[in-house]
Structure 1
Amino acid sequence: MEYKDKILAIIPARAGSKGIKDKNIIDLNGKPLIAYSIEAAKKSKYIDRIVVSTDGEQIAKVAKEWGADVPFLRPDYLASDTAKTIDAMVHCIETLKEMGDEYDYVVLLQPTQPLRTAKHIDEAIEQLISSGEESLVSISKVKDHPILIRTLDDTGHVVNLLNTSSTQRRQDFPDYYKVNGAIYVNKLNENFNLETSLNDNRLAYVMNEKYDVDIDELLDLKIAELMLTNNLSLKEKERKVKHG
């Protein structure tokens, strides 16, 4: 499938990570974390340019080494704990436009999602453009089903999250999904602005939950290491079977 639209990938990578120091460039199986998103974007059939939006000189250096563009550093007001991703995206898009570089679609790839692949990115882009919709978000089935999730009222009694009986077989539970943070695709028009809520993008791209690892703490990093190692082992076994 071929598209004439120009597509920009933005990888947001703020320097001041809290849970893990220098999270965006921490080593994950021999590569900096951000490299996985850059490599996936580079392998995409549709992405025309990959820009990393960062306020960190070291992150910028690593991003460039792995093949991304860092044409400018994010200003300080977009690097605080209260700054939103959409603010950094709009700043990036508008700055590129001032530099004479405009796009039809933007793909947001958060570097904390190292298991997302070029195949996922391309399928999401194809799904959105073919649909005629303006926005898409990747989702995965939830591991903790909301039928079994409770809140507490003021008296300490449990309150069901869903207004339905939980006395049913697990295999009969209806499917529920969560926004997994791996891929966001938006058409760039007057509807994409500072008020855009990316998590409320309209069209759903469903990803297998085995790709849903969001690096927020060291345990997530260990889980990602195991999954990446297992994936490499499986690919090696498949290669040996294929070539005898």
Structure 2
Amino acid sequence: MAKKNPCKRRILLKLSGEALSKDGSRGVAPKALNDIAKEIAHLHKSTGCQLAIVIGGGNIWRGLRDGGGVIDRVNSDSMGMLATVINAIALQSALEENGCPTRVQTSINIYQLAEPFVRRKTLRHLEKGRIVIFAGGTGNPYFTTDSAAALRASEINADVLFKATQVDGVYDSDPRKNPKAKRIKKITFKEAIAKNLQFMDTAALALCMENNVSIQLFDLHKKGNIKRAVCGEDIGTLIY
């Protein structure tokens, strides 16, 4: 049976490190990891889309918060980059257990564990049906993994950047504090930056705006949401 053609052919999926942990705890929870891997594997096999992933490291180390004023910002951010490598290797293993060929590419040189990021090699992997996991952020301190996702999405000419997160969209105020907060279905980059909605850092939004990469933000934990987004269903919030 022929695979269904998705609306989006080449996707950059941004995952938070916290998605791999359990109830806000530290480290990698095997069940949470496998649940995400199964969702991604089903998407990849059923749609045939070209898929790249950027993963954060907040379940292991989060820059300024964990530095506690003792570890300076540059070193703390470097530790965060290493945390994303740990998560990438864990996700690679889980995806391969679910039958998906993968490659991990890093912005920092760790030759024994992963390939260095080379754009042409990335594109070749995607064309051959491999899932590429980007680790190490941008390779520079002071930049978040959101910025890394925007950068890589622009570099590989992704059709869209999907940010799968802990909430079901962008709201006009904090829904945890305001029960009357309303979900925004669509918003322009300029409006999102002007309103300082803080679902993604400004540098990432500006980079996507400049390179015409739309962003769709949705709830990672609702089963089937990643495939729904790929196939064009109206879920979460679209930033364009």
Query: Shorter-normalised TM-score: what interval?
Result: 0.3 to 0.5
| TM-score of the superposed pair, with normalisation by structure 1 | 0.37
| TM-score of the superposed pair, with normalisation by structure 2 | 0.37
